[in-house]
A and B are shown apart, each in its own frame.
Chain A
Amino acid sequence: MTGFYTLFLKEWLRFWKVAVQTVLAPVLTALLYLLVFAHTLRGQVEVFPGVEYAAFLIPGLAMMSVLQNAFANSSSSLMQSKMQGNIVFVLLPPISHREFFFAYLLAAMGRGLTVGAGMFLVTLWFVPVPLEHPLWALAFAVTGSGVMGAMGIVAGMHSDKVDELSVFTNFIILPLTFLAGVFYSIHSLPPFWQKVSYLNPIFYMIDGFRYGFFGRGDVSPWVSLGIVSAVFAGISLLALWLIKSGYKLRH
């Protein structure tokens, strides 16, 4: 237990010590998206009747920040530790694969949720957003950050170099989050792209999270939560199995 807690604390401090870069910078990025999109599309788009576009955008952007930062934390920490060789300090002690997994996972979720909360708090100043079902919002923030934290562990274990990891980040995570309905409702898409969106697990995270704010979504929050939880379980099992097998960690 102490091994797990220490590793979790180390992973937490690792991003917290450079919070300007790991928390403030992504909050600012999300804020810039909000300012630019909300300004240019003001009055032109009304996704939910009676909901201002800026208000519609905020939960999507907050969730996007949660997801991208959860992924970035575990993936970059593992990849860098392997590159710098200091991963041995974690591999030499008697830390089990479960402790290893949960320490990296919870720290990643912690960073994702911190950035998301930060982004949300700052935007409250600009645009009022209702919070009709806070527990739904919380459920999707937690499971969503969990999925991405676990994916980050898999990606970080697989990547030996910065460019290998950037393939994951730029060609998988970024398109999937951008095309998951952060900036629009998928009902505004042509039928074919609507169907494609249903294959994107991140769509359900964002839609379910947004349901927590407006009480409205493209699909039922129960369906979304079911799908996100199943993906979470699947990726967690994959990550646990990879850690146990020593994939690219213990040669």
Chain B
Amino acid sequence: MIPAIKVEQVTKQYHELRALDGVDLEIAQGEFFGLLGPNGAGKTTLISIIAGLARATSGTARVMGHDVVSDYRAARRSLGVVPQELVMDPFFTVRETLTFQSGYFGIKDNAWIDEVIEHLDLTDKANTNMRKLSGGMKRRVLVAQALVHKPPVIILDEPTAGVDVELRQGLWRFIRSLNEDGHTIVLTTHYLEEAEALCGRIAMLKQGRVVALDTTQNLLRKHSGCYVDLRLLPDTLPDTLKPLLVGHADGGCRLALKDYVELEGIMAAIRNAGIKVQEMEVMQPDLEEVFVQIMQREA
């Protein structure tokens, strides 16, 4: 099957700055893909190149098999982009904005616009001027604008930045349902718990390079052991375990383990020191910790 997005050896040079440095990426159709990285890692530049908003210094990008430069019409028809900034045209209402946007794609039938308006809870605001909308509403219109031409691939560049919890959850439900309907979703976000919950596969960018690319599960498994939180009686950690201590939580102590197997040794050491375990909790690392580890490793 043709990949939804294929990026090959893409570099982007802005004067002195190398924003992208030989990026290779292939995203299959139907994936929910996460593009993570600190500010300035090159996420938005990469998205801009895929969307045709920026031109790569070298390398190629394709959307549904269409080159974004030589076959830009087909590439752009296949792609919907929700930009990071809360941009809008203050001259028009919500419905006008969406009608124009679908017209740019050559669509005359407005039935789908009504459907998108309804899905995104914009019915009450359809005839309101864009200027009068709250930030959250403007964000919904941006999502609607990206969907007017029913693109098979949708890129969302930090869609939940500055959005309240209710809207965020609503937005994710909607985007998840789009993914279930077969749309490929590419997401950048700073909320790593969102990426962990939603994305099947994740690429991490740093200084314009892909430093990690794997399924979310593999990233979590490979890059970290686990933590164990202990509350002891008496509250003294045996000397042999002190090198594992990484912090204190809720009146107990937190030990870092490379592997679950180490748990056995820890329990034995505590028993031998005549200490009782009052409470114990074993915790999986989350994506945030994996992210920090990878970014530090690549420093």
Contacts and interface: CB of A to CB of B under 8 A. Distances in A.
B100 A88 contact: no
Interface in A46-69: none
Nearest to B96: A13
Contact of B55 (A2, A10, A246): A246
B55 A93 contact: no
A2 B54 CA distance: 24
B277 interface: no
A94 B89 contact: no
Interface in A1-29: 1-3, 5-7, 9-10, 13-14, 17-18
Given A5-B103, A14-B91, A250-B54, A89 B77 contact: no
B76 A6 contact: no
B53 A92 contact: yes
Contacts of B246: none
Contacts of A93: 76, 101, 104-105, 149
Given A93-B101, A246-B55, A250-B55, A84 B87 contact: yes
B55 A89 contact: no
A84 B85 CA distance: 10
Nearest to A245: B55
A9 B103 CA distance: 10
Given A85-B87, A94-B73, A94-B77, A251 B104 contact: no
A18 B90 CA distance: 12
Interface residues of A, number: 28
A91 interface: yes
Given A85-B83, A92-B81, A6 B103 contact: yes
Nearest to B51: A92
B88 to A, nearest CB: 6
A246 B48 CA distance: 13
A2 B53 contact: no
A84 B90 contact: yes
A95 interface: yes
Contacts of B106: 1-3, 94
Given A94-B77, A94-B106, A251-B55, 6 more contacts: A2-B106, A3-B103, A17-B91, A89-B104, A92-B79, A94-B105
Interface of B: 14, 48, 51-55, 72-74, 76-77, 79, 81, 83, 85, 87-92, 96-97, 100-101, 103-108, 145, 149
> Which 8 pairs, one residue from A and one from B, show the smallest C-beta to C-beta distance?
A6-B103, A93-B104, A85-B87, A94-B73, A2-B106, A94-B76, A86-B89, A251-B54
